[in-house]
Amino acid sequence: MAISSVGFACRSYFPIRNRTLQLHCLRKVTPLYGQILQLSIRFNTAAAANEIVDEPDGFSKVGDGTRDREWKQLNSKDLGITSSMVAKPTRQVLNGLKSKGYDVYLVGGCVRDLILKRTPRDFDILTSAELREVVRTFSRCEIVGRRFPICHVHVGDDIVEVSSFSTSAQNSSRNMRSSELRESNGSDGDEDCVRLNNCLQRDFTINGLMFDPYAKVVYDYLGGIEDIRKAKVRTVIHAGTSFQQDCARILRAIRVAARLGFRISKETAHFIKHLSFLVQRLDKGRILMEMNYMLAYGSAEASLRFLWKFGILEFILPIQAAYLARSGFKRRDKRTNMLLSLFANLDKLLAPDKPCHSSLWIAILAFHKALSDQPRSPLVVATFSLAVHNGGDILEAVKITKKITRPHDSSFSELVQEPKEENINLQTLLDEVMDLDASVKDSLNQMTDGYYISKAMAAYPQAPFSDMVFIPLQLYLRAGRIFECVKEERLMGFEAKQGSKIEYAALYSGDVTEIRHVFARVVFDTVFPLNLSQDI
């Protein structure tokens, strides 16, 4: 990994007092290394985080991610980044803005993912152009958002997000004045200060990277490359201050750590735990969005473990938190259970570029709650999931179920002892399957009933009160359609999906046939795991 001949040093000081950020760029020239910039940052903010919770011994008062860091310019080729890794619609927008003479950068999580050789969920562009100039550059483009306006550029069926340096500077809570950005005499210094100001508005150091695809340079002002190397999630500024400025960062920290398999830095983890109650202030739509990012993109199991570890699950998914508490699951427990196994098997089928519709993970939560409330035999569970898959034909599902020779996972308390085949009464089995179907629908209804949730949590006085319902009516109805097919006759005109290949575009859009197919696979892989010994 080569560093360019331009060296940078950064010193930062963050006395936590008031909300004014003062940034001064001082230019120095050395014969050997060319231009060296030194930054003196004084960040003053209300120390509410310090007043709410005590910091552990040894904590620094500086920002979690902004201790003395060397500013780095790294060759993108040395980091393994090539232009072919950038999605074609994004390249078209970059080229369009560059051809007009504007500076353009890829920023945020997409740069991090490119360095990690992961497929970015999306690409974010930052430009020196004003938003109105971006609109004039592209025929299909509109400005969206009031508080933090950005441009949506339409390229075919894709939307590329473009933000402007000028807009981000205006919305900066740190009030960096343009006069302070221009105290240095050199244009390079000005540009570094402008880039740094934008990076300081990021949530985590690993998201504070900028990539100039034309100069083939990655700018790292916050130590993001080092934290990627250490597999660590760290806030850019003091963690307590960061989470109070934007409590959604608490959920984003968990989402990023879960998706990347990173650990959360000691300081950041401390304030996630002690400020977890702040997530209750978030808009329900924002909570749904963050939970969908966690559960629908291939990192659901790790996300649920993090949410439980830091005491956030009680606020967002209190019914599932009650299940873990009831089963004696410790905060740092390494064991598994049926809830986590269901989502672990869902994760195996998904990825950041192959997500599912949110109705699928909601359906899995409802299905598990029904089994947790009333355990069933594996035969009933298998018949039910097959009936969901084939459009509701229970009789056909029974025929297939009786051919299953793979042993079920007997470690789950949600599964009761299998009766001997000669003792199975067909009508009794049909009745139990229909009863499970009714229970799943009841569970779905209860998950969207704040009064029921508060009553359920009353059994666990040690848990914080929560009656949070963030699943909107439309999504509740959509999840319910997954199970409404279960009956003794197949739905008229329904054709069950053939083969095991998943059509990810259909799965993401919410196609009910595709969702039923994946739901059945997840249930089967959980109840009848392939790696289970035949003598269990």
C-beta of residue 257 within 8 angstroms of C-beta of residue 264: yes
Q: Which of the four pLDDT bands, split at 50, 70 and 90, describes residue 531?
A: confident
Contacts of range 275-278, beta carbons closer than 8 Å, 24 or more positions apart: 275/49, 275/52, 275/53, 275/240, 275/243, 275/244, 275/247, 275/250, 276/250, 276/310, 276/311, 276/312, 276/315, 277/315, 277/464, 278/243, 278/244, 278/247, 278/250
Q: How much is the pLDDT for 140? A: 96
Q: What is the CA radius of gyration of the chain?
A: 26
Distances in whole angstroms, Cα of residue 485 to Cα of each of 394, 434, 480: 10, 11, 10
C-beta of residue 36 within 8 angstroms of C-beta of residue 30: yes
- The DSSP annotation for 35-76 comes to EEEEEEEEE----HHHHHSPPPTT--SS-TT-SSB--EEEET
Tell me whether strands 104-107 and 141-144 are parallel, antiparallel or unpaired. unpaired
Q: How much is the pLDDT for 282? A: 96
- Give the mean pLDDT of the chain: 83
Q: How much is the pLDDT for 37? A: 34
Which residues lie across from 209 on neighbouring strands? 220
Percent with pLDDT over 90 in the chain: 64
Q: How many CB atoms lie within 10 A of CB 86?
A: 18
- The DSSP annotation for 419-447 comes to PPGGG--HHHHHHHHHHHHHHHHHHHHHH
Q: How much is the pLDDT for 499? A: 76
Which helix (H) or strand (E) is 141 found in, with range? strand 141-144
In three-state secondary structure terms, 217 is strand
pLDDT, tens digit, 9 for 90 and up, residues 309-331: 999 999 999 999 999 999 999 99
Token pair, residue 48, equals 């509410």
Q: How much is the pLDDT for 35? A: 32
pLDDT, tens digit, 9 for 90 and up, residues 200-211: 999 999 999 999
| CA atoms of 430 and 315, how far apart (whole Å) | 37
Cα 337 from chain centre:
22
Q: Which of the four pLDDT bands, split at 50, 70 and 90, describes residue 26?
A: very low
pLDDT above 50 (res 50): no
Please give the class, per CATH, of domain 73-233.
alpha beta
For the entire predicted model, the pTM comes to 0.82
| CA atoms of 275 and 401, how far apart (whole Å) | 48
C-beta of residue 86 within 8 angstroms of C-beta of residue 289: no
pLDDT, tens digit, 9 for 90 and up, residues 84-139: 999 999 999 999 999 999 999 999 999 999 999 998 989 999 999 999 999 999 99
Percent with pLDDT over 70 in the chain: 78
Q: How much is the pLDDT for 72? A: 87
Q: How much is the pLDDT for 107? A: 97
Q: Of the ranges 171-175, 302-306, 358-362, 492-496, which one carries the lowest mean pLDDT score? A: 171-175
Residue positions counted in the chain: 536
Q: How much is the pLDDT for 16? A: 31
Mean pLDDT to the nearest integer, 284-290: 96
Which helix (H) or strand (E) is 210 found in, with range? strand 209-212
Mean pLDDT to the nearest integer, 212-226: 96
pLDDT above 50 (res 217): yes
Listed by start position, the domains of the chain span 73-233, 375-448+472-527
Give the position of tokens 């359609």. Answer: 481
pLDDT above 90 (res 518): yes
| CA atoms of 216 and 171, how far apart (whole Å) | 28
Q: What is the dihedral of CA 494, 496, 498, 502, to 10 degrees?
A: 100
Mean pLDDT to the nearest integer, 406-413: 93
Please name which of 333, 339, 361, 359 lies closest in space to residue 349, comparing C-alpha atoms. Answer: 361
| CA atoms of 105 and 357, how far apart (whole Å) | 31
Mean pLDDT to the nearest integer, 455-472: 77
Phi/psi of residue 152, nearest 5 degrees? -105, 115
Give the position of tokens 């120390």. Answer: 47
Name which residue leads in pLDDT, 238 or 392.
238
Q: How much is the pLDDT for 85? A: 95
Q: Which of the four pLDDT bands, split at 50, 70 and 90, describes residue 495?
A: low
Q: How much is the pLDDT for 68? A: 54
Mean pLDDT to the nearest integer, 394-414: 90
Token pair, residue 421, equals 């085949």
The angle subtended at Cα 292 by Cα 443 and Cα 237, nearest 5°, is: 130
Angle of helix 394-401 relative to helix 426-447, nearest 10 degrees?
A: 110
